[in-house]
Structure 1
């Protein structure tokens, strides 16, 4: 009887799915993120916590973009619009005395869901460069709309009086509190996106990326799946905007310019699209390079561009692909 029990346990352990490479990579990044504030305290340099919060926020946005770019082959060049909607949700609600973070997130995701549904419903009827240009056009429409809002500073933006509260508590008042709150958000959203990509919905979305005609022939409607993914991605990006507004305590249309959309695409491509963990690493690499190169030269964008060209030439799959070449991570099948 004991032997049978042991055999059953061995069989169950053998059939239990192991952690995938992307989850292991993400967990490693999360541990390193968690260690950053204590390290900053040891170095007596709070700047690292501030830049760390910014990295975490952009990691959320890059993760959201990867959901449609890496898994759905939808290159959205107006995705920064949702980042901006998240920031302005904080500014607008704060003006009415509503400072709770959860309420601001709900408002930001609701606004982004509507905007993404309209944008996606129109742009997804096209393909390729036409899709890119329509998403860019909608992004610029949002950009110029908020420039016209003189009540919120127009092109100059508006400063926030204070950071948001969390269920009435001033958890975000300190940089450490905001940092760890953002980290918890990133971890939760990563596992949500991981669950989505591993679900039936995610498999269909990936199948549409590979061959939409075949998926339609076997009974799936590509438009519905792509639009749903587009809306989810926009809502998650808006959550990153809520964090950025609190981190900077400043809101302006610059958060939703096409330059920001390009930066998000760079983060996804740099990290490795279709991996979820890769874009998080891409956000870390892109923002740290920006800080380091910017401190060395005012022409840092030239060197950053050279770095991107070398990455594309020698590792088309970004940091993720480079790590696989070096023997880390999952092997290509």
Structure 2
């Protein structure tokens, strides 16, 4: 963890030009969004195909308040996060009436409703043209227009969200979330309110998706209905599945894989989407649990094959027995 923190903190110095620093910022923002979805998919066992709606809600709300009502960035961000959290809570009341495939279809329908509003309500959202002209915030006078400055800002937000999720999933409440995923009937028999636990997890996941939406609109300085589309939700779901659901490092690895393939491989290969599909098929076939769990299993196998040295006491006892 210390090495990872050192590498991330010093990345702008060894990555090279602004292009690669901006690419690293995109990875962090995608990882933020994938982590929020992983709380729902990996820990609660509830697969959603409408999670991009929360990114879009937060981004649109913040941009609209700043551009039209001339609110400050801090007030707009707090209002956008509050609005996104409330909408996630309301959507949870609807979606959690079902489970399994029905839950998946309800989240897909809710996501499409938000996409349709963003596309058709042109007087508020700008329609297909979206909202543009947003300037980046300047917290404590810190100018975020420079690539390195925005990267470090994104890294701070990313670290805080990771710390929050680390505490949550390792807490007793985090254990109840995993319990509702693995043994919902047994958890209900033991007296736990399974529906209420899932609803809180759904709401928290949507709220964290709103945090990713703020970072997204700050980076892009633009938001359009495409950000709420089913393609965006599916892309984030693939990040979680490829990296390893139910782990904190898995969505980060999946986000890095997808963002790098989109931005780097597409510069050399015209049909990079086909390459992305081939990569995911290979992951499903050979590393079904995801990249991070697969690497962990490989590490355990390699450690198990290493010859273990004899304990010093055992060697001494063997020597004494051989003395006549």
Fold conserved between structures, TM > 0.5: yes
Find the counterpart in structure 2 of residue 287 from structure 1.
259
**Aligned 8 A contact 1:36 1:48 in 2:** no
DSSP-derived class of the 1:172 partner: coil
Following the alignment from structure 1 to structure 2, what is the Cα–Cα distance between the partners of residues 76 and 330? 36
Following the alignment from structure 1 to structure 2, what is the Cα–Cα distance between the partners of residues 98 and 181? 21
Query: Could you tell me how far 1:162 is from its partner in structure 2?
Result: 1.6
Of residues 80, 84, 108 in structure 2, which corresponds to 1:112? 84
Query: Could you tell me how far 1:329 is from its partner in structure 2?
Result: 11
Query: Could you tell me how far 1:328 is from its partner in structure 2?
Result: 6.6
1:34 aligns with 2:9: yes
Following the alignment from structure 2 to structure 1, what is the Cα–Cα distance between the partners of residues 186 and 237? 28
Following the alignment from structure 2 to structure 1, what is the Cα–Cα distance between the partners of residues 235 and 4? 21
Superposition TM-score, scaled by structure 2 size: 0.88
Q: Summarize the alignment of residues 259-270 of structure 1 with structure 2, pairs less than 5 Å apart.
A: 259-270=231-242
Superposed CA offset, 1:51-88 (max 9, x none) = 11111111111111111110100101100001111211
Superposed CA offset, 1:98-128 (max 9, x none) = 232x333312221111111111111111111
Of residues 117, 120, 127 in structure 1, which corresponds to 2:99? 127
Q: Summarize the alignment of residues 138-177 of structure 1 with structure 2, pairs less than 5 Å apart.
A: 138-151=110-123, 152-167=125-140, 169-177=141-149
Q: Which runs of 5+ in 1 are unaligned?
A: 1-23
Query: Could you tell me how far 1:330 is from its partner in structure 2?
Result: 12
Q: Which runs of 5+ in 2 are unaligned?
A: 305-324
Following the alignment from structure 1 to structure 2, what is the Cα–Cα distance between the partners of residues 247 and 33? 18
Find the counterpart in structure 1 of residue 284 from structure 2.
312
Find the counterpart in structure 2 of residue 58 from structure 1.
30
Count of residue correspondences: 302
Question: Compared with structure 1, are the counterparts of its residues 249 and 106 closer, same or farther at alpha carbon in structure 2 (3 Å cutoff)?
Answer: same
Which contiguous aligned blocks of 4+ residues in structure 1 show a shift greater than 4 angstroms?
Answer: 328-332
Find the counterpart in structure 1 of residue 206 from structure 2.
234
**Aligned 8 A contact 1:324 1:330 in 2:** no
**Aligned 8 A contact 1:67 1:276 in 2:** no
Following the alignment from structure 2 to structure 1, what is the Cα–Cα distance between the partners of residues 250 and 235? 15
Q: How large is the Cα RMSD of the aligned pairs?
A: 1.9
User: Could you say which structure has the larger radius of gyration?
Assistant: 2
Following the alignment from structure 2 to structure 1, what is the Cα–Cα distance between the partners of residues 145 and 269? 34
1:212 aligns with 2:184: yes
Following the alignment from structure 1 to structure 2, what is the Cα–Cα distance between the partners of residues 303 and 144? 30
**Aligned 8 A contact 2:180 2:194 in 1:** yes
Superposition TM-score, scaled by structure 1 size: 0.86
Question: Compared with structure 1, are the counterparts of its residues 214 and 103 closer, same or farther at alpha carbon in structure 2 (3 Å cutoff)?
Answer: same
**Aligned 8 A contact 2:85 2:207 in 1:** yes
